[in-house]
Amino acid sequence: MIKNKQREIVVVYTKQFPFGFKEAYILDEIKALGKNFDEVYFLPYAEFDFKPNESRIGLDSAFHVLKFGSIKPKRSLGEKIAALFSIAPILFKEALFSRQKLESLKRIKQNFFRLYHYSWIAHQLESWLNTQHGNITHYHYWMHDGVMIDMMAKNHQPHRHVARSHSIDCYHKDWPLAGYAPYEVQKIKYLDAIYSVSRHGLNHLQRTFPNWNKKFRYQPLGITFENVPAISNPKPIILTLAFMGKVKNMGRMVDLMIELKDHFEWVHIGSGVQEIQDQISASCKENNIHFTSLGYMNKEEIYDFLSKQNIAFFANTSIWEGVPVSLMEAGIHGIPMIVTDIPGNKEVVNAENGFIIPIKGNLREYAEMIIEKYQDNESWLKMANCAQSTILEHYNAEKNHQKFFSEIKNLSLK
């Protein structure tokens, strides 16, 4: 006798999505989520004020939102005591096993109150999970606080528990903007599989947590595109696309443009820290660099701009990146890339499809090579085709997401 097929249910833990305007690339996963799971629920655990007008999924959508984070209840004494009993072991293990034990003790009050709030979300989640029937996958878009909510919600049937790991998850205390990532060991121990979006992130996890190497896997992100854009003869424009913050290191872009200013203009898309934007504008004016800032654009506007402007090069001068999606967006449009010598950039860019420049030091030699490449149309076109081929082969979102979710569904229920 053939048993009825179990429904596949996924709970996607996010910070805010589908509300607000961050976590934009989850939109690229929507189609694959719908294909691979019968029911899709989003749990935005960091969102307190849900604004329907800012939701990026419609009310008639096949995707659903669990609004547990918006409820601030008055708890009974019994509920408060139960929350304390669930939180105490987590804080104790954090103090015992954290790679930054002193930081964990310094932040014990902050950690407690965050967990206290999450315990109520977990309580509601637990009640909801007990009403569901099917194979349930807990999918954490970030290896972040959502994992703790998942862990505090006691599951009374076998589930799967998986997470992506981005650069901020891997290097939160190791990258140049040092911070503290709580509950690393507890999260890794709890999860069934952790998928790094970068190879350098995978290597870092395997090197840092060797006892759990079998849990760590590599699964790149990607971008969606309906058609492969045509490559046209370029205009002398170098484009940057980023939020102007400290990590984006825009001063290095100024250094490069000082060497290139007689041959190229610099166009920037994106908002940013006002002080940094003012500094960049002032530096460009002082050095006679032709600089234009177009401000914030949404994804559709960016793609329209990239398809019409025939950009010569795309630049990313960050001091740290995971794997920049902006490079994928430029590459698919056949735009060769100029990037700083950091791990995330080098996963996409090589000598065939762009230039890798040092974070410090003189850039004249690199500028001369960039100018020479631009002036030789055949040579530039070869590099442009390589840039596009790189994205088609490695960062096609539809293929990558399909592989990712198919692999997740093959994990054992535990």
Q: What is the pLDDT of residue 125?
A: 95
Q: What is the pLDDT of residue 55?
A: 82
- Output the furthest CA–CA distance in the chain (Å, rounded): 80
Q: What is the pLDDT of residue 1?
A: 42
Which class does domain 235-394 fall in?
alpha beta
Cα–Cα distance for residue pair 106/102, rounded to 1 Å: 6
Cβ–Cβ < 8 Å for 234, 310: yes
Q: What is the pLDDT of residue 49?
A: 64
Q: What is the pLDDT of residue 169?
A: 85
Q: What is the pLDDT of residue 2?
A: 44
- The residue ranges of the chain whose pLDDT is under 50 are 1-2
Cα–Cα distance for residue pair 381/230, rounded to 1 Å: 12
What 8-state DSSP symbol labels residue 227? S
Whether domain 8-222+398-409 has CATH 1.10.1530.10: no
Q: What is the pLDDT of residue 44?
A: 92
Q: In which region does residue 220 sit, left (phi positive, over 0), alpha (psi from -120 to 50) or beta (all else)?
A: beta
Q: What is the pLDDT of residue 322?
A: 87
Alpha helices (runs of H) in 30-76, residue ranges in sequence order: 30-36
Domain boundaries for CATH 3.40.50.2000 within the chain: 8-222+398-409, 235-394
Residue 153's contacts (CB-CB under 8 Å, 6 or more residues apart) are 122, 123, 125, 126, 129
